[in-house]
Homo-oligomer: A and B are copies of this chain.
Amino acid sequence: MLISRVSLHEEMVSRLRALITDGALRPGSRIDERALCERFGVSRTPLREALKVLASEGLVELLPHRGARVTRLSGRELRDAFEIVAALEALAGELACRNITDDEIERIAGHHARMEEHYRRRELTEYFACNQAIHEAINRAAGNAQLTEMYALVSNRVRRARYMANHSPERWANAMREHEEILDALRRRDGARCGSLLRAHLEHKLYTVEHEIDTE
């Protein structure tokens, strides 16, 4: 096992990003530099460097001379972000159809099968894990590192919202059907169709999110 010798600021970026995307740090809440320094046992320098990076990722907002706080997306911003995610994922699906191997497809099919099982048992958390695994696998299969990076960037911003969708049974059933079609398009290497399916899938998810979540 390789000992992790990442720098403190890099480590802080990862930790803080996880805290934010997992919801431990709530949107709109202030970020207390001193408290975080003590919590992680680092000085302010690496922490502040990390905050600058997270600000450029859009996860936190820096208020001049008034500290930082976790970004809170308005309904409009959430919608805007989803539009981007949808476009990026459509591109990923399209590219994936050009490059994906049978092995990769079968791995995705495996995720899909497990997801279906969790769907039948109404196991939301496990369902989401499989769901995310599929979307990540498609992105990787696209073979465009920068795309993966961009996708993660915008996706992180709406992560909590995505996980709150899929509450209504009809929508959930639709999502499963859509996933089946996506998998099918992948198998047939039909890039155009795969892309448009993914885009529609994300847009439906946005619709769900907007109609099932009023405020966080």
Contact = CB atoms under 8 A, between A and B. Distances in A.
A81 interface: yes
A36 interface: no
A53 interface: yes
- Dominant secondary structure of chain A at its interface with chain B: helix
A200 B76 CA distance: 29
A146 B52 contact: no
A95 interface: yes
A77 interface: yes
A58 B53 CA distance: 12
Contact of A150 (B9, B49, B154): B154
A45 interface: yes
Nearest to A64: B7
Contact of A91 (B5, B53, B77, B84): B84
A87 B64 CA distance: 34
Given A52-B49, A53-B53, A77 B146 contact: yes
Given A45-B45, A83-B91, A87-B90, A146 B150 contact: no
Greatest chain B CB density within 10 A among A56, A90, A154 is at A56
Contact of A49 (B48, B77, B87): B48
A97 interface: no
Interface centre among A58, A77, A84 (most CB of B within 10 A): A84
A24 to B, nearest CB: 21
Nearest to A151: B84
Interface string A35-69: 00000000001001110110111100000100000
A129 interface: no
Interface of A: 5, 7, 9, 45, 48-50, 52-53, 55-58, 64, 77, 80-81, 83-84, 87-88, 90-91, 95, 144-147, 149-150, 153-154, 157
